[in-house]
Every structure is written in structure tokens, then in C-alpha cells.
């Protein structure tokens, strides 16, 4: 019996990186999966799960769109009869443009995907979890949302908002049996961080990636997926309203290499 045997889970941002690793891990632990992404590669994730003997339905869409997020919840219920776990994992970085060059539209798009998307997940997932008296909602925050030094202004603000959302939603869901927590990844090799890794490798500095954290290395998507599995499972039955940093210790100090003006 797997840790998620007999349960249904939704994961957004599952076409690659952390979302794909988590979808495969959750399925291997017995969960029936509904996975989503804007990229068609989400279908490849579903195919890999089915090839391994698991159950998966893939949907293409925008995790910051109200109707689409609701459709993910509806699909889980119609396809498998329940919804037990929802991981609002999808996000965008927005790059590192200087603050004075950023626009309101730029900020609005990052907040729409990174913060409003998780809000929609909480809203729609909790609506079907509450009558059952149980459920686990997970949101992807970031060490960039904990303090300065790990991301651009808009991205960092959006992830700080996710941390606050988890805290406030936890109390909104008081007494319902529905838990909500966040994971704050550090530097993980994914599609979002590809430019950082490509740049370091082109300069011959791959061995220095992740040197600022006490573990002295970058992380793998599977390490974030393992933390999410814990939060999704009954092993975390008394964990609620928390943000767990999985970052090699980076958030203990967030050392910064200053850019020249």
C-alpha cells in the first residue's frame, strides 16, 4: 500500500521539473492523478505514469484562470470520485529586469499566475474537501518569498503572498479538517531556472551552482516532490499553515552577490 493509495491528487505545472517529478511520485504511491500545464508536454507526464501502471488524466490550460482551475477539481471528482490533494505548483519567474523598468502589466501577470492561481486552487479544492472533513492543499512558494536575495521583486512579492495566503487560508479553514501548507524551494534545476544553469555551465562554473547554501549544491525536482508527498500524506496530519523551505539551508541567511549599478 502506497502513502496515497486510494486517493486522488491534482498537480498543476506538471509538464516538467518539480511538477512532473511529483506527479510520477504521487502516482507511484497510489494516487490517481489529474495533472495540468500550459505546455503540451504534460501529456508525456501522463503517458509515463500510465506506462508505469498508474492512473493519470492530463489537461491543458492556465493555472491562473478561474474556470480552468475549477475544471481540474471537477475532473478529479468526475473521473475518480473524489479529491484528496491539490498542489498548486504552477508558476512563472518573470526574469530579473530592474525594478524601474518593470510595468504594472508585468506585475499583474506574475501575481495572476503565482498568487491568484493558488488562491483559486484553495477556493475550489476546499469546496469539495470540506464536506468530506479532510484534504491536503499544497502551494508552491519560494525562498524568494521569505526574504530578499533569491528572486526579482515581482516574483518575490508573489511568493511572499503565497506564504501569507497559506497562513490566512489555514485559519479560514478552521475546524474543517482541510490542511494547507506551502513548500519554498531553493535553487532547483527546472525549466524556470534553466538560464541560470546554462549560463554557469557555459562559463565553466557548474561546480559553483548552489555554493551560497550550507549544503553547497543545488537541489533536484525529486527532493521537492518528496517534501510534497509528506505534506500530502497522513504523515503530515498535524502540519497545517506552514511553509517548509527545501533549500539546502539557503533561507537561513540568503547571502547576496550585489550587482553593480
- To the nearest 10 degrees (0 to 180), the angle between helices 66-80 and 117-129 is 30
What sign does the dihedral 109-191-47-89 (CA atoms) show? negative
Neighbours of 152 (CB within 10 A): 19
Max Cα separation, the chain? 57
What is the Cα–Cα distance from 146 to 27, expressed in whole angstroms? 30
Helix-strand-coil percent breakdown of the chain, rounded to 5? 45, 15, 40
DSSP H helices in 115-179: 117-129, 153-172
Q: Are 138 and 87 in contact (CB under 8 A)?
A: yes
155 annotated active-site: yes
Q: Which residue in the list 80, 155, 218, 238 is annotated as catalytic?
A: 155
For the annotated catalytic residues, the residue numbers are: 155
Amino acid at each position: 500500500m502506497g502513502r496515497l493509495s486510494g486517493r486522488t491528487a491534482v498537480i498543476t505545472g506538471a509538464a516538467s521539473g518539480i511538477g512532473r517529478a511529483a506527479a510520477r511520485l504521487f502516482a507511484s504511491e497510489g494516487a490517481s492523478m489529474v495533472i495540468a500545464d500550459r505546455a503540451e508536454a504534460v501529456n508525456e507526464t501522463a503517458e509515463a505514469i500510465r506506462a508505469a501502471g498508474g492512473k493519470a488524466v492530463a489537461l491543458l490550460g492556465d493555472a491562473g484562470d478561474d474556470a480552468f482551475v475549477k475544471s481540474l477539481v471537477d475532473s478529479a471528482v468526475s473521473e475518480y470520485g473524489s479529491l484528496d490533494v491539490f498542489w498548486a505548483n504552477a508558476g512563472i519567474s518573470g526574469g530579473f529586469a530592474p525594478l524601474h523598468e518593470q510595468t504594472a502589466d508585468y506585475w499583474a501577470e506574475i501575481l495572476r499566475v503565482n498568487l491568484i492561481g493558488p488562491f483559486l486552487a484553495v477556493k475550489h479544492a476546499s469546496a469539495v474537501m470540506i464536506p468530506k472533513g479532510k484534504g491536503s492543499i499544497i502551494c508552491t512558494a519560494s525562498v524568494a518569498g521569505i526574504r530578499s536575495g533569491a528572486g526579482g521583486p515581482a516574483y518575490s512579492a508573489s511568493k511572499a503572498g503565497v506564504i501569507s495566503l497559506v497562513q490566512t487560508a489555514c485559519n479560514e479553514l478552521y475546524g474543517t479538517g482541510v490542511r494547507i501548507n506551502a513548500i519554498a524551494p531553493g535553487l532547483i534545476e527546472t525549466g524556470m531556472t534553466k538560464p541560470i544553469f546554462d549560463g554557469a555551465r557555459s562559463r565553466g562554473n557548474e561546480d559553483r551552482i548552489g555554493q551560497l547554501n550550507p549544503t553547497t549544491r543545488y537541489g533536484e525536482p525529486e527532493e521537492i516532490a518528496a517534501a510534497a508527498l509528506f505534506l500530502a500524506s497522513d504523515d503530515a496530519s498535524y502540519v497545517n499553515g506552514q511553509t517548509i523551505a527545501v533549500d539546502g539551508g539557503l533561507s537561513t541567511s540568503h547571502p547576496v552577490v550585489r550587482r553593480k549599478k
